[in-house]
Amino acid sequence: MMKRLFVLIMAATLLISCHDKNTYKEQDTAVQTLLMYFPWSGDGQDLTDHFHTNIEDMKTVVAAGLPEGCRVLVFFMTSGTKGELYELVRKGNQVEREVYCTYDHPAITTVDGIATIFRDMKRFAPAPRYAMSIGCHGMAWMPATNATGRGEAGREAELEYWQGNGPLTRWFGGTSEEYRTEIKTLAEAIRGEGIVFDYILFDDCYMASVEVAYELRDVAHHLIGSTSEIMGVGFPYADMGRCMVGEVDYMGICEAFYSFYMSYIYPYGTISVTITKELEGLATVMKRINAVSAPLSAAERDEIQVLDGYTYTRFFDMGDYVRRYCKDAALLAEFEAQFEKVVPSLYRRHTPMFYSGTNGTTKINTFSGITTSDPSVSKEVLAAIETTSWWQATH
């Protein structure tokens, strides 16, 4: 099943039991702390086994030796009501879990609940730099209350997904709204703790979206993610984990992802890196383009590269869309120059095809590394897109 970020956990009162051994003093301040964040992926076809594999793969990286001053913490939901925060610590030839906190009914759909995890991260592994990976389901910017997907009755009829046919991908978190978190909620929790991550890596489907990126533009310097569905196995942490810590090797991450999926039994994957400081400039250009451009006809819209498997496309390749939409050559050139700063071609990788649990494989003819929902006629999209910060900044 695909990963839909945020989208996770029950909105209950956060009850915390922390096992603070008071061992970390000023000299233990890290150079960089990486938090691997694994919320509950939902009952039924959940991703828990894949999450365990992801953690075991990162253990091999820790066992080989992290850069001096780097630490890896894990927040892991063992069920819909239980979670724990621990560190992967090398002791001799072994890597052990140093458990710091356990959580009963963590409220990870709320600002306060998520912020509590970040506060604990800072308390047990303080550092001037933080990074974060998020492993769960993903549906880009779509609201938790209507982020519907495959096979849900009364919703833009899709092929049945939950019947279990086909390979598992990482779709939106859980099978009900109580396990989903809004992107704005995540952003507010990070912002409230005064954190600006080196990067947020979304090991979730559909999160390389301009609507998502713009919402998170002031809480992370880089965003790493996929425009499409990610297979259930997720990112190849054993291959790329060393690139995630210390001096982050963004090209190394992308190359490891691409190499893994080109040789995987299900050879489908897309990845890109978004530079968030350049997003305001892109919004400025896009607003000018929207002011002078006529909507595309249905025939023109049908020619845009799609990057999902929905009956009414939700996520279009942004570069391909704008090239068809903007008829002003000077404006388009300005867009292209700024777009390259936002999503550098250096970090864009894709297999020849992408996979969707709804309709199988689709050929990728053009790939710009990030999607937009602007041209969508999906009722689900139209009902909510004007509430996104990106839409409001560009229309």
| pTM (predicted TM-score) | 0.91
- pLDDT greater than 70 at residue 175: no
> pLDDT confidence of 279, banded at 50, 70, 90?
very high
- pLDDT greater than 80 at residue 22: no
Give pLDDT, residue 166.
56
- pLDDT greater than 90 at residue 387: yes
User: How high is the mean pLDDT of the chain?
Assistant: 87
Q: Which of 122, 90, 142, 93 is nearest to 195 (CA)?
A: 122
Higher pLDDT among residues 145 and 360, named by residue: 360
Pick the CATH number of 3-276 from 2.60.40.10, 3.40.50.11970, 3.40.50.920, 3.40.50.11860: 3.40.50.11970
Alpha-carbon dihedral sign for residues 322, 328, 329, 331: negative
Percent of all residues in the chain with a pLDDT value above 70, rounded to a whole number: 84
Task: Tell me the domain boundaries of the chain.
Answer: 3-276, 279-394
**Of 40-44, 91-95, 165-169, 319-323, which gets the smallest average pLDDT?**
165-169
Give pLDDT, residue 97.
96
Give pLDDT, residue 137.
82
Mean pLDDT of 365-384: 96
CA distance 232 to 61: 21
CA distance 141 to 208: 10
DSSP letter at 388 equals: S
> pLDDT confidence of 26, banded at 50, 70, 90?
very low
Give pLDDT, residue 255.
98
pLDDT digits (tens, 9 = 90+) for 56-87: 999 999 999 999 999 999 999 888 899 999 99
Give pLDDT, residue 107.
87
Give pLDDT, residue 28.
73
Give pLDDT, residue 157.
39
Give pLDDT, residue 43.
61
- pLDDT greater than 90 at residue 330: yes
CA distance 221 to 10: 29
> pLDDT confidence of 44, banded at 50, 70, 90?
low
pLDDT digits (tens, 9 = 90+) for 124-144: 999 999 999 999 888 898 887
Mean pLDDT of 270-298: 98
- Indicate the residue type of 103: Y
3-state SS class at 227? coil
Which helix or strand (DSSP H or E) is residue 184 part of?
A: helix 183-192
pLDDT digits (tens, 9 = 90+) for 190-217: 999 999 999 999 999 999 999 999 999 9
Render the burial of 362-386: b for 16+ CB within 10 Å, e for the rest.
bebeebbbbbbbbbbebebbeebbe
Other CB atoms within a 10 A radius of the CB of residue 94 amount to 9
Give pLDDT, residue 138.
86
Mean pLDDT of 325-348: 98
DSSP string, 277-326: GGHHHHHHHHHHHHHH-PPPPHHHHTTSPB-S--SS---EEHHHHHHHH-
- pLDDT greater than 90 at residue 245: yes
